[in-house]
Structure 1
Amino acid sequence: MKIGELAKQSGLASSRIRFYEASGLIGKVQRQANGYREYPAQTLQLLRIITCAQQVGFTLEEIHNMLPENTKGSHHDELLIRLKQKVIEIDALQQRLTQNKAQLLSMIETIENKPEHLECSANAERVFAQLEI
């Protein structure tokens, strides 16, 4: 499959696919006599895996290290460890985001309930004094 067709089917830009190739995420591709890349059919599935992994928070380096051809020993065990670690990281991020959201909502409420006699600068000081840092 040529890169244009692969880009169309995957929804990725051709430049992104070439970047993944240069990064070692997808194997080196055979070139035809005219110089065009000819991607094997399984490349589409690999691109879908890479895209999905990025969407759940894996970096390209983490994805690269999880690919079977880049792991030594038991790929199954390593993969499970990395996936479970990512779930722990996501839980921690969700907790931080929940705390950040609560703090922002508190700030909004404080700003909206500004006493009429307070000027903006004094209200800003009041809002920042209430922040839980």
Structure 2
Amino acid sequence: MRIGELAKISGLAPSRIRFYEASGLIRSVERKANGYRDYAPETEWILQIITGAQAAGFSLEQIRQLMPVDANGWQEEELLGGLRQKVEEIEILQQRLAQNKVQLLLVIKGIEGKPEGVACADNAQLLLHRLREEGARAAPARQDGVTSKGKKARRV
């Protein structure tokens, strides 16, 4: 299959396909006498795996390490380990996003609920103070003495 057809089927630009080939993620193909690349039919599903893995947050290097060179070379334990680690990373990211959402909602509430007669700059200072207090309460120290924000916890 030529690169134009593969690009159309996969939804990827030919330059992206050539990049994956140059990166070693898909098997390099010999050019025909007319200069065209001729890709094997399984290249389509390999491209789907690559783009799906990227959408899930895997780097190209992680994909390269986990993907076999051919369909018979899957390393099940390595693949499972990589997938489990990515799930853990996603869970940590979800926790951080939830904390960010809480902080943003506090800011919105603070701006919308600005007391009459209080200047915007003064209200901003009040909001910052309240966010610092909330952050200090929401960041309990771990066993190693480091908070969820990566800072050493103060002992009282």
Tell me which interval the TM-score lies in, with the shorter structure as reference length.
Answer: over 0.9
CA distance in 1, matches of 2:129, 2:19: 48
In the comparison of the two structures, how many residue pairs are matched?
Answer: 131
Q: How far 1:126 moved relative to its partner?
A: 1.2
Unaligned 5+ segments in structure 1 are none
More helix by share: 1
Q: How far 1:40 moved relative to its partner?
A: 0.7
Mapping for residues 1-133 of structure 1, pairs under 5 Å: 1-69=1-69, 75-132=75-132, 133=135
Report Cα offsets for 1:37-69 as digits up to 9, x if no partner.
111111000000001101111111100000123
TM-score (normalised: structure 2):
0.80
Which structure has more relative contact order (CA 8 Å, sep 6+)? It is 1
**Is the CA contact (8 Å cut-off) linking 2:67 and 2:74 kept in structure 1?**
no
CA distance in 2, matches of 1:43, 1:35: 19
Runs of 4+ off more than 4 Å: none
- Give the CA RMSD over aligned residues: 1.6
Unaligned 5+ segments in structure 2 are 136-156
CA distance in 2, matches of 1:112, 1:46: 50
CA distance in 2, matches of 1:47, 1:87: 22
TM-score (normalised: structure 1):
0.93
Q: Percent identity, aligned pairs only?
A: 57
SS state at 1:4 partner: helix
Q: How far 1:79 moved relative to its partner?
A: 0.6
**Is the CA contact (8 Å cut-off) linking 2:32 and 2:38 kept in structure 1?**
yes
CA distance in 2, matches of 1:130, 1:12: 48
